[in-house]
């Protein structure tokens, strides 16, 4: 079986929210590595929102052709190597794809040390699209300071869970927005945030007024849409709006709804700044060292929600958008 590759391919482009019919499981004989390449047995895939954007014909993150393997970052282990410096048994992180066995040039495989922390941490709390994203959003873009009031959206998800904890560690008062009372309880009881708002069941503007009567200094936004306007309306002078993502908009990238209250930025001398984590690649070692130290000290953690089997990757992507998980969503191969 080791030589068979099982992969999820794009059967048809979604129109709006993808359905399971947009994907197909295929099997093929495992390709042999060329000179400079290695074969990786994939162990876990990171389920990230950007995967949805790659299903479009045109995408910032690159487009998957019809019949092509769906994109995904992942971790796995080298099982065969013709790449100098990569030994069999080495754990690696890479854009491996939604498959069980990947053949990639050695230069694309980042060796990881899984002796102290499990390899899945390299997708989650220490991962580029989760922990590092939260770190740069909170510190480099949001410049969160002690005593400030910070609001985080999708706060019970992967990036949001880490962002909220990092803002607390920086000494801020943190309010998380999440869908449903169970997630709100998770924010306060497990992540230690000061308060949570159930955006599905509560009046968000009223609750923000109650919880942040002096206004909001930093908004770490993962969601966009209406919630962005709700927060913009209540920002303080010199507020920073961090555009990390806009998951409410990814099903219709050609008609993204922008904020209608953006003039609050002018009225309150505030700024809105977006970023992609890859803009900070030179600073990854610094952020990684800080995150690693926080995890080792027991001050930062991230729950994992794991679906078992490559065939469940399409379901996992739908789970991500439906919010059927808490913390980091992974597929175990």
Ligand X SMILES: NC(=O)c1ccc[n+]([C@@H]2O[C@H](COP(=O)([O-])OP(=O)(O)OC[C@H]3O[C@@H](n4cnc5c(N)ncnc54)[C@H](OP(=O)(O)O)[C@@H]3O)[C@@H](O)[C@H]2O)c1
Task: State how far the Cα of 1 lies from the Cα of 55, in Å rounded to an integer.
Answer: 29
Which residues inside 9-68 make contact with ligand X, applying CB under 6 A? 48-50
Name the closest residue to ligand X (Cβ): 157
From 71-79, 157-165, 259-267, 308-316, give the range in contact with ligand X by CB under 6 A: 157-165
3-class SS at 9? strand
Backbone CA torsion sign across 128, 130, 134, 137? positive
User: Which residues lie closer than 8 Å to 58 by C-beta, 6 or more apart?
Assistant: none
Q: At its nearest, how many Å lie between ligand X and the CB of residue 123?
A: 10
* Burial profile 143-159: b = 16 or more Cβ within 10 angstroms, e = fewer: ebeeebbbbbbbbbbbb
User: Which residues lie closer than 8 Å to 205 by C-beta, 6 or more apart?
Assistant: 230, 233, 234
From 11-19, 95-103, 186-194, 320-328, give the range in contact with ligand X by CB under 6 A: 320-328
Considering beta carbons, is residue 80 or 230 the nearer one to ligand X?
Answer: 230
Considering beta carbons, is residue 33 or 179 the nearer one to ligand X?
Answer: 179
Which residues inside 260-319 make contact with ligand X, applying CB under 6 A? 275-277
Q: At its nearest, how many Å lie between ligand X and the CB of residue 237?
A: 26
Contact residue for ligand X among 30, 124, 160, 196 (CB under 6 A):
160
Asked if residue 222 binds ligand X (CB under 6 A), the reply is yes
Q: Enumerate helices (H) and strands (E) in the chain, giving the number of each.
A: 9, 15
CA-nearest of 168, 151, 174 to 228 is 151
Contact residue for ligand X among 102, 125, 178, 295 (CB under 6 A):
178
User: What is the DSSP annotation of 154-208?
Assistant: STTSHHHHHHHHHHHHTT-EEEEEESSHHHHHHHHHTS--SEEEETTTS-HHHHH
Strands (E), 4-55: 4-10, 23-29, 37-46
Asked if residue 141 binds ligand X (CB under 6 A), the reply is no
Considering beta carbons, is residue 83 or 144 the nearer one to ligand X?
Answer: 144
Asked if residue 109 binds ligand X (CB under 6 A), the reply is no
By CB under 6 A, how many residues form the interface with ligand X?
29
The residues binding ligand X (CB under 6 A) are 48-50, 129, 133, 154, 156-160, 178-179, 183, 222-223, 244-248, 275-277, 320-321, 323, 325, 329
């Amino acid at each position: 079986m080791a030589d068979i590759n099982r992969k999820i391919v794009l059967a048809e482009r979604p129109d709006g929210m993808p359905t399971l019919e947009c994907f197909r499981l295929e099997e093929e004989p495992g390709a042999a590595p060329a000179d400079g390449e290695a074969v990786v047995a994939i162990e876990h895939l990171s389920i990230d929102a950007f995967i949805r954007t790659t299903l479009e014909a045109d995408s910032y993150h690159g487009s998957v052709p019809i019949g092509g393997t769906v994109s995904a970052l992942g971790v796995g282990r080298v099982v065969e190597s013709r790449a100098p410096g990569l030994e069999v048994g080495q754990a690696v992180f890479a854009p491996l794809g939604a498959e069980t066995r990947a053949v990639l040039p050695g230069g694309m495989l980042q060796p990881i040390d899984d002796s102290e922390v499990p390899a899945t941490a390299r997708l989650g709390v220490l991962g580029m699209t989760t922990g590092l994203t939260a770190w740069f959003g909170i510190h480099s873009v949001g410049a969160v300071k002690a005593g400030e009031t910070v609001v985080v959206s999708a706060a019970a998800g992967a990036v949001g869970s880490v962002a909220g904890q990092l803002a607390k560690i920086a000494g801020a008062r943190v309010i998380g927005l999440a869908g449903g009372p169970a997630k709100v309880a998770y924010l306060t009881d497990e992540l230690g945030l000061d308060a949570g708002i159930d955006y599905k069941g509560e009046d968000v503007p009223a609750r923000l007024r109650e919880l942040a009567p002096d206004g909001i200094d930093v908004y770490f936004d993962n969601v966009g849409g209406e919630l962005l306007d709700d927060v913009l309306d209540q920002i303080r002078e010199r507020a920073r709006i961090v555009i990390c993502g806009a998951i409410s908009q990814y099903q219709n990238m050609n008609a993204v709804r922008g904020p209608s209250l953006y003039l609050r930025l002018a009225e309150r001398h505030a700024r809105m700044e977006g970023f992609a984590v890859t803009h900070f690649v030179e600073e990854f070692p610094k952020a990684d060292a800080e995150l690693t130290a926080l995890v080792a000290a027991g001050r930062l953690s991230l729950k994992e929600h794991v679906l078992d089997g490559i065939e469940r990757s399409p379901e996992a992507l739908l789970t991500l958008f439906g919010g059927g998980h808490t913390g980091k969503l992974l597929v175990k191969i």
